[in-house]
């Protein structure tokens, strides 16, 4: 009778505990993968949105020669350069006239989405020439330009270069400064100038044996005195020399 009752009753199948563990681990792995994808997506989304920029204002101290450049990370142009230590060159960017680095509020300016160009690019490296651009006008540039020049913005005179000068599709902007060497900047001309975000450049001697080259929109030539003073002040603010 017991056997009959057992035969007619419901049957129960014992599930292998090893199989249950595998199912559990599979669901756990899927859950972890889902979390990882969610976090990774958020990180990647922010990375793409920043497009190489950073709004981090941590100060980094970069050593070039006998100089220390102490500057916030959001002023440093390239990600790999946002660190402390020795370097042969440091590239920065900032808005003018605000003279600030990248931020969420300044995103459109740094992405150049507006009609106005207002970002300047600065490069610090060890000095290779004994004179800066202003000092090179009389001994070098004056022999390479075509006279007479034409009136330019902000009281500058624009000179074309001779064919043998090596400066093709460029003009030299020169403005006199009482008691000093003239203000001098080289600017691209023609289609190249239209395509460039900062077609003009000028270099200064700063710190202890450093050369500072800054590139800027041609529209800034009209107020070159204020621009040059702002760049010099920004350099002095971030530079510490061993002198």
Residue 124 · residue 231 · CB < 8 Å? no
What DSSP element (H or E) covers 17? Answer: helix 17-50
The predicted pLDDT at position 206 comes to: 97
pTM of the predicted model as reported, rounded to 2 decimal places: 0.79
b/e per residue, 167-189, with b = 16+ CB within 10 A? Answer: beebbbbbbeeeeeebbbbbbbb
**What DSSP state is assigned to residue 83?**
S
CA distances from 223 to 152, 153, 181, 205, 236 (A): 11, 8, 18, 21, 20
Question: What would the two tokens of residue 70 be?
Answer: 């102490």
Distance CA 152, CA 174 (A): 9
**What DSSP state is assigned to residue 84?**
S
pLDDT in tens, the chain (243 residues): 444 444 444 454 555 566 666 655 665 556 565 544 444 444 433 433 445 899 999 999 999 999 999 999 999 999 999 999 999 999 999 999 999 999 999 999 999 987 789 999 999 999 999 999 999 999 999 999 999 999 999 999 999 999 999 998 999 999 999 999 999 999 999 888 888 999 999 999 999 999 999 999 999 999 999 999 999 999 999 999 865
The length of the chain is 243
Distance CA 42, CA 236 (A): 39
Beta strands 89-95 and 59-64, pairing class? unpaired
The predicted pLDDT at position 33 comes to: 55
Question: What would the two tokens of residue 171 be?
Answer: 């003009």
Cα-flanking dihedrals φ and ψ of residue 73, to 5°? -60, -35
CB proximity list for 112: less than 8 A, separation 6 or greater: 119, 197
The predicted pLDDT at position 241 comes to: 82
The predicted pLDDT at position 36 comes to: 45
């Amino acid at each position: 009778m017991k056997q009959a009752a057992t035969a007619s009753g419901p049957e129960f199948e014992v599930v292998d505990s090893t199989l249950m563990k595998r199912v559990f681990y599979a669901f756990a792995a899927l859950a972890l993968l889902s979390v990882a994808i969610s976090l990774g997506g958020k990180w990647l989304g922010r990375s793409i949105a920043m497009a190489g920029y950073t709004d981090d204002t941590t100060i980094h101290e970069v050593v070039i020669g006998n100089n220390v450049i102490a500057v916030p990370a959001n002023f440093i142009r390239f990600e790999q350069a946002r660190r402390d230590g020795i370097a042969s060159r440091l590239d920065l960017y900032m808005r003018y006239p605000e003279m600030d680095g990248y931020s969420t509020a300044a995103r459109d300016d740094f992405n150049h989405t507006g009609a106005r160009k207002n970002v300047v690019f600065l490069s610090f490296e060890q000095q290779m020439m004994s004179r800066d651009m202003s000092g090179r006008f009389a001994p070098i540039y004056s022999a390479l330009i075509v006279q007479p020049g034409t009136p330019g913005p902000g009281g500058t005179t624009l000179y074309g270069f001779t064919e043998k000068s090596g400066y093709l599709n460029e003009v030299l902007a020169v403005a006199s400064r009482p008691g000093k060497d003239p203000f001098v900047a080289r600017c691209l001309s023609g289609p190249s100038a239209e395509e460039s975000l900062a077609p003009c450049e000028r270099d200064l001697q700063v710190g202890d044996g450093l050369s500072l080259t800054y590139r800027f929109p041609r529209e800034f030539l009209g107020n070159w005195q204020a621009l040059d003073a702002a760049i010099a002040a920004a350099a002095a603010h971030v530079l510490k020399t061993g002198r």
